[in-house]
Structure formats: structure tokens, C-alpha cells
Chain A
Amino acid sequence: MSIAIGTPTDTTITMSRSFAAPRDLVFACHTQAEHIRHWWGRGNPLDVDLDFSVGGKWRFVERSDGQEHAFRGEFREIDPPAGFTWTFEYEPMAGHIVVERYEFTEDGGRTTVTCTSTFDSRADRDGMLQSGMENGAEESYRALDAYLVKLS
């Protein structure tokens, strides 16, 4: 399955992906520590601290190649199993807070997750763009083609 990415406005990014599993389970996989640690780290060890309540804090630490990457935030809305909203912050870029809304819909036993990320400001979005540009300066036109195909 592939991911669909969209940039509907100047300060939002959307992402959508479906899974062959019921909605309750996919929701739980996104909101319960014992599930999250099995996948969110993409195969890397992941420490998960999470208080799943409105106002509750979360913090994930991913370890790869001897480095630690820490992410944190807090839950703002909880509406199981339809969705939740949390804030997302990469600790080295603390203060640049992204608000992410996750929505879960089920159809014929498949669950689609749609995440809308809203940046606090244009400056924050550009900061992320900037870091992406530095890491990916070698990217070829293929990325552009793929992106345009996906958008159209």
C-alpha cells in the first residue's frame, strides 16, 4: 500500500493510508504504548511514554546508529475510534509545534488513516522545508514527477 500526500493549504500537509484491519485495532495501534513501540520506530528500538487523555503528554525516543531522536507532545482531542489530535514536536527543534489530527474510517474491513498536519506558522513550515532541502539536495526530477503524478 502506498501513502497519498497532499498540500491543501499553505500551512497544512495531509497523508492517507489504508490497512487490512478493523478500525478499533488500527486506532489502538496509534494510541497505546504497547502497540506503538512495535512499529513507530520503523524497526528501530523505540521507548514510548504516553498518557492517553486530553492534556496528557507523550514522548517517543527512537534509537538508530547510536543516536537518539526524541519526539514529544500532548493530546488535545480524543474521540475513539474516530480520531484524535495531538501536538508533535521534534526535540532538537523544540518550540516548532505541529498540530496533527488523525482520523480513522472503516470500509469493508479496511481502515483508512488520514492525518492532517497543521503548522503553527509559515516560518515553521518553511523551517521543515529547509531541513528537507538540506537532506535531499541530490534529489532528481523523478521526485518531482512522482509528486506531480500523485497530485494530479
Chain B
Amino acid sequence: MTDPIDGVFAALADPTRRAILARLATSDATAGELAAAFPITAQAVSKHLNVLENAGLIVRTREAQRRHCRIVPGPLRTVATWAEQYRRLWEERYDALDGYLETLKETP
């Protein structure tokens, strides 16, 4: 049984794959369009797309003669939501620490 979240973090760990996802978040694109947008070979782009597809982060659809890559928001949104909540918690905590450090400076 494969875990749907498994592979998402690994897929996101690579900066090129994150850049591809950021590009696909604006609109669908063909593999050729993606290869033109990044300074790597078409084969390398294809490998990254396989990883993203296996992680459930994109799907490839066929329209007319062109295969389009489309972002799948579900798993990314799960990660993003979690990361956002974690960030917010620590932002509150560390804003409080900033305030506390200020009070330490004021008391001789």
C-alpha cells in the first residue's frame, strides 16, 4: 500500500522541482515548454516530471496532440497548510521573544 503523502516531501526537497511546480501553479504547460523555461536538458525535466507525477503532485493529460502537465493541489495544500500553521506558531513565539529581549535591554 502506498502512502499518498510519502514522496511529497522528497519531491519538494529539490529546487528544480519546486520551480517547476511554481511554474505550473500559474498555468498548465507541456514538457517542452517547461524544458525551455529551465536551464536543464529535456531528459532532466522529464525525470523531474516523473518524480512529481509519482508523488501525486502533477498529472499529465493529453489534449489534441499535446501532453499537458497540470498541478494537483491536494497534497501540496496539505503540506503547505501544515507548514503555514507551524510557521505561524513559531512566528508568534519568536515575536514574543523579540519583545522580551527588548525589555531585557531596557532594564539595566
Contacts and interface: CB of A to CB of B under 8 A. Distances in A.
- A and B held together in a complex: yes
Interface of A: 1-3, 5, 7-11, 13, 15, 17, 19-21, 25-26, 29, 35, 38-43, 113, 122, 125-126, 128-129, 132-133, 135-137, 139, 141, 143-149, 151-152
Contact of A143 (B81, B91, B99): B81
Nearest to A7: B9
B36 interface: no
7 contacts: A9-B9, A10-B7, A10-B9, A122-B6, A145-B25, A147-B79, A147-B84
Contact of A5 (B77, B87, B96): B87
Main DSSP-derived SS at the B contact region: helix
Interface size class, chain B: 35 or more
Given A136-B82, A143-B77, A3 B6 contact: no
Contacts of B73: 141, 144
